[in-house]
Amino acid sequence: MNSSTAADILYSIFDFLSKDNIMLSEVINYGVQFDTTSILPNINNNFINEKWNEDNQDHEAMKLLPERYEDYICIKSSPDGNCFFNSASLIVFGNENFNLQLRLATIIELMTHALFYLQQSIFEQDIIY
């Protein structure tokens, strides 16, 4: 799935979730309609980029790493408000090109399995819950 298709689906989900008085069962039923296997490309299990460009390394962040992680490399992600999904895309795919697909897969996962996630203790501590 390309990023423009993922963006279109994200907008349709946003429109759906923007409705007033939506029931949890409606959210779950809406989420299960999506084929999550087509969202992300097959992951190359052999991907390990041990030679990141010097320009991609975040030397300032590397100074903050504890000593036991001194052999690790911090990589810069684009500071465009999508840093979490940009970083996840860097880790999994070696580039930031799949940030929208990762965001979409996360939203669909949360919608489809909403009952499971709502039963987690972290949500029970929330004031709104």
- What is the domain partition of the chain in residue ranges? 1-41+98-129, 46-96
Alpha-helix residue ranges (DSSP H) falling in the chain:
3-17, 24-31, 59-62, 83-93, 99-112, 114-118, 121-124
pLDDT tens for 11-30 read: 999 999 999 999 999 999 99
Interhelix angle 99-112/24-31, rounded to 10 degrees, is: 130
pLDDT tens for 37-62 read: 888 877 655 555 556 778 888 889 99
| Amino acid 119: pLDDT | 85
Question: 21, exposed or middle or buried, with CB in 10 Å at 0-12, 13-18, 19+?
Answer: exposed
Mean pLDDT is lowest, of 3-7, 11-15, 101-105, 106-110, for: 3-7
